[in-house]
Amino acid sequence: MPAACRLFLTVSSLFCAASLLTSTADATDAAAAAAAQFLARGHVNGCPFSVLDLGRGRDSADERLLMEPLMCVTTSPDELAPRFDPVLRRSYLSVPVLLSDSELLAHASRQVNRPDLGTLSPARITEVNTVEDGLPTSVIVALDFVWTPPQPVGFLWLGCRREVGCNEILRSHQLEAIEGVLLSAKLLGLSSNASTTFTYRLMVQNQTLSMSNGGSRDVARPPTCPQLRPLKTLESENCAIQVYQRLDRRGHYLVEPLLCYDKTIAETILRKDKLRGTNYLRLTLMLHDDFVLNTVKTHLEYLRPISVEFMRLWQAKAVVDSEFSNHYQIGTLLISENSSLAKVQVHCSNWSDCAALRCAITTDPIYFWRHVKWTYETTVDDTCLHTPATGPKHSWQVLREAKPISARSRRQLQCNGTPCKYVKYRGGKEYTVVLQRIRGSVSFQRNWTEYENGFGDETDFWIGLEAVHALSKFGITLRIELKLFNGTELFGEFNEFRVGNSSTNYRMTYSEMATTAGFSNMGFDPLIKHQGMQFSTLDRDNDANENSCSNNWGRGGWWFSSCYDFYPTGLFPLSKTSNYSYMIFGDVQRLAFRQVRLMFEADFCG
């Protein structure tokens, strides 16, 4: 398989396999297998394919052109459900993997279009197995590959450590956790009387294409391109544009993929990888751009070019300095279906590092990109491979001195018209206090405008929906702390918490409650009933109940559903009560709490 797997956007979620550098022949004619050469690659119906030329003459009784196993899954995560193995007594997911398909073979044959080399045939697969993988052992493990030749589909069994583990995967679509799965496939036909074993790595595709960081195995690498002459280097915004002249075709010119950070479509949302337990940012790189191509054509007008085209990216690997790697890890480059854009995940050791990184990138991208370079290879016409002679490439050019940034700028944030209040915990983690009720000195029976703008005093206050939106619009960690009348203290943290703007009536969403020890002791998720709800007050009813939850129960403002499991804005109780009009917590057993605090993990940029 090639290092790249092209997908159609109609597929909601897709895995595809890239061959690794491992291949072993089971007999003495391994040299014959090694003689196989990469011929072409492409994709049909969202599935990648790679074609090998075995170098045999047309009079040979054996096939000359072979298409490797597809190793492609077109099943949406929504269609997968946890199963139970009664023998091993464990939960698992059964993921169908497409190995071969006659219709796709016919489409691939038309794309390759080499009748002079004979008919394209599928590789004959005799065996597929799972091999040692790098899956997160705390949640899932590759159990087996269940398949009977010559069936076109096999089933990868992913074992779950617990039932909730399977449900977590399905609910959050975090199927990128199987990026560590390796499958070995024995192929016949590469040599006269032997099988050859190749190893494939499954990679998760979400309407994108994964680029291998390690390169393809030798038989899958295209031949080296005829000599290309570097012609000139141009600049556009903060991108370097490298132009080449083709020496094999007069008047034809090529442009390297830009690999340039696109700040105009930057996505600066903090996300949570639930299975790996890390936070990450997703950044966008521009590879091909019509404006850039027209700029190059303008600069080459004096040469009267016949064609000016972009090369395609074959593989790219991030190279970072050691100090940077202590805090951040660069994930796999993911390419859009039309190859014009790429996305890359930057994983952080903790949320605070991600927040600081986001602030740095939005202030001036050079703070981040000065630490990262790309080594890469490109293809020309998808038939030959080019290694740039210019060396590693930056995604952001240093054209001026970086904009200054203050490490304490978050102190200037305004909450309810005054500087925001912060709480500092051990280890230096800080939180912005959003809502606090300690003494019951402030009434929370307020109208819409008051809840928008905020209200309160030093001990009891609400900072306002506008401020909450400003702080959480990129996604943030919410921490809830409660103190019950028996002295019990409860707490929970909620990842990727967001509140929309006024046009959404400040709709609230989040990804999950953190269940890891030390992040929650609540026993159940008190916000799950409120997920996706708009804000309601005594004078504006946006809840899912036929009556107004606010007016029926305490006249406080909240993200009511019908009506609530958690109500921090209810009447302030002076003693233990189960009256729904008061500050209440619980799904089955309703518990009044005497103190409450809602906080956002402090963000550098605000």
How far is Cα 470 from Cα 283, in angstroms, rounded to an integer?
21
The set of residues, in sequence order, having a beta carbon less than 8 Å from that of 270 and lying 6+ positions away, is 279, 280, 281, 351, 354, 355, 358, 474, 475, 476, 496
Average pLDDT, integer, range 141-145: 82
The closest alpha carbon to 383, from 7, 45, 120, 112, belongs to: 112
Return the exposure string of 517-544: e unless at least 16 CB atoms fall within 10 Å of the residue's CB, then b.
eeebebeebbbebbeebbbbbbbbebbe
Cα dist from 518 to 230, 479, 506, 521, whole Å: 56, 12, 30, 8
**Tell me, what's the pLDDT at 410?**
43
Mean pLDDT is lowest, of 34-43, 48-57, 119-128, 567-576, for: 34-43
Count the neighbouring beta carbons within 10 Å of the beta carbon of residue 182.
19
Using the predicted structure, report yes or no on whether residue 563 has a pLDDT greater than 80.
yes
65-67 sheet: strands from edge to edge: 37-44, 47-53, 65-67, 120-122
CATH number 3.90.215.10 given to 415-601 = yes
How far is Cα 587 from Cα 589, in angstroms, rounded to an integer?
6
Using the predicted structure, report yes or no on whether residue 31 has a pLDDT greater than 70.
no
**Tell me, what's the pLDDT at 164?**
52
Beta strand residue intervals within 341-438, DSSP E: 341-348, 372-380, 384-386, 414-415, 418-419, 422-424, 430-437
How far is Cα 493 from Cα 484, in angstroms, rounded to an integer?
18
Angle in degrees, CA 23, 24, 27, rounded to 5 = 150
Mean pLDDT is lowest, of 34-38, 135-139, 323-327, 485-489, for: 135-139
Q: What 3-state class would DSSP assign to 468?
A: helix
pTM over 0.85: no
How far is Cα 60 from Cα 208, in angstroms, rounded to an integer?
39
Using the predicted structure, report yes or no on whether residue 108 has a pLDDT greater than 60.
yes
Higher pLDDT, 135 or 86: 86
Using the predicted structure, report yes or no on whether residue 253 has a pLDDT greater than 90.
yes
Tally of residues, the chain: 606
Higher pLDDT, 173 or 273: 273
At residue 18 the predicted structure's pLDDT band, cuts being 50, 70 and 90, is very low
The identity of residue 94, as a single letter, is S
Average pLDDT, integer, range 29-58: 64
The distance between the two most distant Cα atoms of the chain, rounded to a whole number of Å, is 94
The set of residues, in sequence order, having a beta carbon less than 8 Å from that of 113 and lying 6+ positions away, is none
How far is Cα 547 from Cα 588, in angstroms, rounded to an integer?
22
At residue 598 the predicted structure's pLDDT band, cuts being 50, 70 and 90, is very high
Could you tell me if 201 and 17 are in contact, meaning their C-beta atoms sit under 8 angstroms apart?
yes
Measured in whole angstroms, the distance separating CA 479 from the mean position of its chain's CA atoms is: 24
Angle in degrees, CA 57, 63, 69, rounded to 5 = 135
Per the structure block, which two tokens stand in for 553? 């129960």
At residue 545 the predicted structure's pLDDT band, cuts being 50, 70 and 90, is confident
Residues of the chain with CATH 3.90.215.10: 415-601
**Tell me, what's the pLDDT at 306?**
95
Average pLDDT, integer, range 481-496: 90
Per the structure block, which two tokens stand in for 324? 């940077």
Q: How many DSSP H helices and E strands does the chain contain? A: 10, 39
Per the structure block, which two tokens stand in for 394? 């930056």
Higher pLDDT, 137 or 367: 367
Cα dist from 62 to 30, 40, 193, 285, 534, whole Å: 16, 20, 11, 44, 66
173 backbone dihedrals φ, ψ, rounded to 5° = 55, 35
Most confident of 220-229, 441-450, 572-581: 441-450
Most confident of 87-91, 136-140, 235-239, 527-531: 527-531
Using the predicted structure, report yes or no on whether residue 176 has a pLDDT greater than 70.
no
Most confident of 47-51, 134-138, 296-300: 296-300
The set of residues, in sequence order, having a beta carbon less than 8 Å from that of 301 and lying 6+ positions away, is none
**Tell me, what's the pLDDT at 407?**
42
What are the residue ranges of helices labelled H in 217-370?
A: 290-299, 322-325, 351-363, 366-369
Q: What 3-state class would DSSP assign to 97?
A: strand
Higher pLDDT, 443 or 58: 443
The set of residues, in sequence order, having a beta carbon less than 8 Å from that of 589 and lying 6+ positions away, is none
The set of residues, in sequence order, having a beta carbon less than 8 Å from that of 424 and lying 6+ positions away, is 430, 431
Q: Is 79 exposed, middle or buried (0-12, 13-18, 19+ CB in 10 A)?
A: exposed
Q: What 3-state class would DSSP assign to 517?
A: coil
Query: pLDDT digits over 44-103, tens only?
Result: 666 677 788 877 654 454 567 888 888 877 676 556 777 777 777 777 778 888 888 888
Average pLDDT, integer, range 389-395: 78
For 575, what's the count of Cα atoms within 13 Å in the CB-facing half-sphere?
A: 0
239-246 sheet: strands from edge to edge: 228-236, 239-246, 252-255, 307-310
Using the predicted structure, report yes or no on whether residue 447 has a pLDDT greater than 90.
yes
Q: Give, rounded to a whole angstrom, the gap between the first and last alpha carbons of the chain.
A: 45
Using the predicted structure, report yes or no on whether residue 165 has a pLDDT greater than 80.
no
The closest alpha carbon to 398, from 357, 437, 364, 354, belongs to: 364
How far is Cα 389 from Cα 395, in angstroms, rounded to an integer?
17
Mean pLDDT is lowest, of 112-121, 207-216, 267-276, 578-587, for: 207-216
Average pLDDT, integer, range 33-43: 64
**Tell me, what's the pLDDT at 460?**
92
At residue 345 the predicted structure's pLDDT band, cuts being 50, 70 and 90, is confident
Report DSSP state, residue 223.
Answer: P
Average pLDDT, integer, range 577-606: 80
Average pLDDT, integer, range 338-362: 79
At residue 130 the predicted structure's pLDDT band, cuts being 50, 70 and 90, is confident
**Tell me, what's the pLDDT at 135?**
54
428 backbone dihedrals φ, ψ, rounded to 5° = 90, 0
Using the predicted structure, report yes or no on whether residue 603 has a pLDDT greater than 50.
yes
Higher pLDDT, 352 or 524: 524
Using the predicted structure, report yes or no on whether residue 9 has a pLDDT greater than 70.
no
Query: pLDDT digits over 309-319, tens only?
Result: 999 888 888 88
Give me the chain's average pLDDT, please. Answer: 76
**Tell me, what's the pLDDT at 14?**
34
Q: What 3-state class would DSSP assign to 358?
A: helix
